[in-house]
Amino acid sequence: MGTRFQSFLLVFLISCLILISTASCERKHDGTVRIGLKKRKLDRANRLASQLFLKNRGSLATKEYFRLNDATGDIVPLKNYLDAQYYGEIAIGTPPQKFTVIFDTGSSNLWIPSTKCYLSVSCYFHTKYKASESSTYKKNGKPASIRYGTGAISGYFSDDDVKVGEIVVNEQEFIEATTEPGITFLVAKFDGILGLGFKEISVGNTTPVWYNMVEKGLVKEPIFSFWLNRNPNDAEGGEIVFGGVDPKHFKGEHTYVPVTHKGYWQFDMGDLQIAGKPTGYCAKGCSAIADSGTSLLTGPSSVITMINHAIGAEGVVSHECKAVIGQYGKTMLNSLLAQEDPKRVCSQIGVCAFDGTESVSMNIKTVVDDGASGILNEAMCSACEMAAVWMQSELSQNETQERILTYAAELCDHIPTQNQQSAVDCEKVSSMPIVTFSIGGKNFDLSPQEYIFKIGDGVETQCTSGFTAMDIPPPRGPLWILGDIFMGPYHTVFDYGKARVGFAKAA
C-alpha cells in the first residue's frame, strides 16, 4: 500500500512539474483563460532558412498580399513564419491530441498536419492529427488550399473538438493539411497555425475558433490580449489571455483605435519619426495591422530606407536610384516646391505613368499622351517614387536643395531588399535612434534594443534590423505590419466586441 501510494505521489509531482514548466494553460476565477507561450531562440539556421524562403518567394509577396477569394482561389497573407518566435499548445479530438501552434492575428484558419500527409517531408518532423483515433471526429471532406510563395498548404476540412487552454470548442471546422510547402515548415518549431483574424479572410468561409468561443459563450468578454516576454534570458515566452486582460501585463492605460477594415486587425496610424524627426510619409495618415504571426515590422520601402540610413543598415546599392536623382533631381525638387503632389512628380518627368490615383510601373503597357504604347521600367519608377518621398520629407524640414540631393543620393545605398532584413553593426546599437509611431494621437517609441535582433553570442554575434520592406499597392496599401517587435514592448488588446485594438506599455 505504501509503495503504491509513493508511486502515485511521485507520478503526481512529476505531472505538476511538467505542467508548471510548460505553462500550458490556466483558468482564472475572473472568467479568463490563459495560454502560456513558448519562445524560440533566434539562431543562424532559422535565419538562413528564412532568407532562402524569401529569396525563392521573390516578388510574389508584393503582388498577392491581401488578394482574397478571387477566381484563382483563397489566399492569405504571405508570411515568413520562420521569423515567428512565439507559439503555444492546443489539443484536438477525444482523447486530446496535442499540437504546438502560432496564434496568428494575421490569418483566420486553424490548420495542422494530417496523418494522411505522406509526400511532404515537413509532415514527418511534426505531430500529425489522427482522425481515426478521435471519437468526436466528424468527416467533412471539403477541399482546402492556402497559397504561399513557395507552394500551397492543401488538404481538406474536418470537424472535431478543439481545446484551447480549458476551453473546449465542439465541432470546430479546421484544415487537415496533406501537403506543406518546402523549407518553410520543415524547420519550424510549431505544427500548425491558429488564426485569430476576422472571418472575412477565412479560407473556405469557415467560422474561426475565436468566433465560436464568443458565440458559444465560452469566454467572459469578447476580448483577447497578448503579452510577449522580450527578455532573452527568461524561459517564459509570454501569455495570451482569452476573455479579458491581465493588469500585471501592462502599465498605465491602453490607447485604443478602431478597426478600419475587418479581415486583419487593421487601423489608422499617424506619421513616423526617426530620432524625433518626422518622415512626412504618413502625415496624412497610413494604415497598419497588428500581426502576432511575425516577429518583424514591415513598411513601405521609402521609409524603411530612411530608417536603414539612420541606423547604418547595409542595403543594396541602387544604380537606378542614383541615376534618377542625378538626371532628374533638380526638376523633381522644383515640382515639389511648386506644391506638386509627390505621386505625380515621377509621371511628369516621364519615368512613371499615373492613372490619377497611383503610379504604374513594371511591365504594364500604357498609352501616353502621344498615343504610343510602351513598357515602363519598374526599377526607375520605383526609385523615382522613393526619391520624391525623401525630398518631400527634407523640404518640410527647410533643408537646402544641395543638402536634399546629397541626402537622397546617400539613401540610395540603403534601399532594402524586399521582405528581407538588413545587417547592422552590433557595436553601434546603443547609439542608434529611437523610432516613433503615432497611434491614436499618442507616440509609441521603439528603442534600438527593441528593434534590433541579436543572433548568437560573443565574437560571433550577428545583428539585424527588425524593419523590413514590403510595398503593398493600393487600395489596401501602403500598409505597415506591426509584428512582435512592436507587440513585445506594447501589450496589445484585440477587442472583438468593440472592433478596436489597444496598446499600452508592457510590464
Q: Which residues are catalytic?
A: 104, 291
Which sign does the torsion angle of CA 442, 446, 451, 457 carry?
negative
Spatial distance between the Cα atoms of 222 and 242, rounded to a whole number of angstroms:
8
Using the 8-state DSSP alphabet, how is residue 123 labeled? G
Q: Taking each helix axis from N to C terminus, what angle separates 301-311 and 378-395, rounded to the nearest 10 degrees?
A: 60
Could you tell me which residues come within 8 angstroms of residue 42 by beta carbon, excluding any fewer than 6 positions away?
A: 85, 453, 454, 455
For residue 187, what are the β-bridge partners? none
* C-alpha cell read off for 263: 479581415
Q: Do residues 359 and 352 make contact, with C-beta atoms less than 8 angstroms apart?
A: yes
Q: Do residues 108 and 211 make contact, with C-beta atoms less than 8 angstroms apart?
A: no
Q: How far apart, in Å, are the Cα atoms of 383 and each of 305, 415, 416?
A: 11, 9, 12
Q: Which of 410, 416, 419 is nearest to 390 (CA)?
A: 410
- Secondary structure of 469-483 in HEC code, one letter for each residue: ECCCCCCCCCEEEEC
* C-alpha cell read off for 406: 546629397
Residue with cell 505531472: 15
